[in-house]
Amino acid sequence: APSGRRLLLALAVLVLLAAGCWDRVDIERRAIVTAVGVDAVDGPAGRPDDTEPEPGETVRRVRYDVGIEWPFAPAVTMAAGGAEGGGAGKSPPVVVLRTTATTLAEANRQFNTKIYRIPYYGFTQALLIGEETARQGIDPILDFFMRSFEANWRMYVYISKGPAVPLLPTRKALGDLTGIYLARIAKGGVRRNDRTAPVTLIDVKKALVTPGAVLIPRIVSAGSLLKVAGSGVVKEGRLVAWLGETESRAAWMINGDTRGGALVFTAPWDPGQPVTLDIIRVSSRKGVRMEGGRPVFEVRIKVVGGLGEKQGSVDVYHSEHIKKLESALARTVQAQALAVLAKTRALGADAFEFHRLVERRYPAEWRRLKEDWPAAYARTGARVSVQARITNIGNVH
């Protein structure tokens, strides 16, 4: 029947339309990039220009040394086979490829002059930006990934202390690829590490379009491992200062991002004896008041934890000693928070989204302050109050 033929024709069209993407690329033609490193060519880790200068060229073309890490499937197969690979002295099943280019988009094309596979960033776990490159500006690096329809916007971002690309081929003691290794640290650190907090590509990009600053975790070489602790203060797209590990913990506490780790402070009954608190939970509330024409920020932090270690002979089973410990802990957190607030104000780097509080509560004043918020933030004031509670003291009394 005519109606039946029309139905069959419609079904055939639907099958063709549902067959897949017209511009798809087979998986065997992909280089699944797990980590990317970017350094400035003219920085301390600068590499010589390996591109051929064009006739009549008047501007320097090369700006970046770019490295990508990807697992090489044939090598993985040989390693699993035993005889062909995987033994002592054999090449690891990973490729780290480097090139120099003016932009990351150009570098991405340059890779295809060296390999036949197309770099794919949909599963990229880590972006490592070198210190010198971050000081020059990170926005051009982020732009390439944000414009890509395939890039993983949830990849974790790090700033390396020194060059970034040389960290990619570091063989970790646990045998992971660098990207997977760093992603596992980031995900596990949410609950167990108080000295860093995971920051993704989209987190950084969102922060860069505000008047404030952003803290990006710092990464350093630690022999056969990589250490993630501390953070870089990025203001107006450029690295302006480092926060140490303790300073970073205080910053994460102010933002309420710390949910684990250990905090060491001085025992109230003996200045020579340390006490360690296992952090269970941290929460914070932030407010703002206008005083004398300038914003004064109020931060209230609550810290809950258990006694991880105590040295000395004082028996903390008694409630009066617990109260003394809680008071000492509160003073320590307060002092560290005030110190990091003072440092960021001196830098004019609002890494705590305080500008949003002013905008919401004092819109008229914000219209005046937003013209130069970094300078206005440097003139602000801050108060910090801390409530500390120790919920358990362990098994030994």
Neighbours of 292 (CB within 10 A): 6
Which residue numbers in the chain have pLDDT < 70?
1-28, 42-62, 73-92, 171-175, 189-194, 394-397
pLDDT of residue 58: 57
What pLDDT sits at residue 158? 97
Which residue carries 């340390």 as its tokens? 274
Query: 121, 114, 128, 169: which is closest to 38 by C-alpha?
Result: 128
Q: What is the pLDDT of residue 84?
A: 35
Residue 237 is which amino acid? G
pTM given for the model: 0.83
> Token digits for 58?
């008047």
Percentages (nearest 5) of helix, strand, coil residues in the chain: 35, 30, 35
For 361-387, how does the pLDDT look when each residue is reduced to its tens digit (9 = 90+)? 999 999 999 999 999 999 999 999 999
Distance CA 34, CA 9 (A): 44
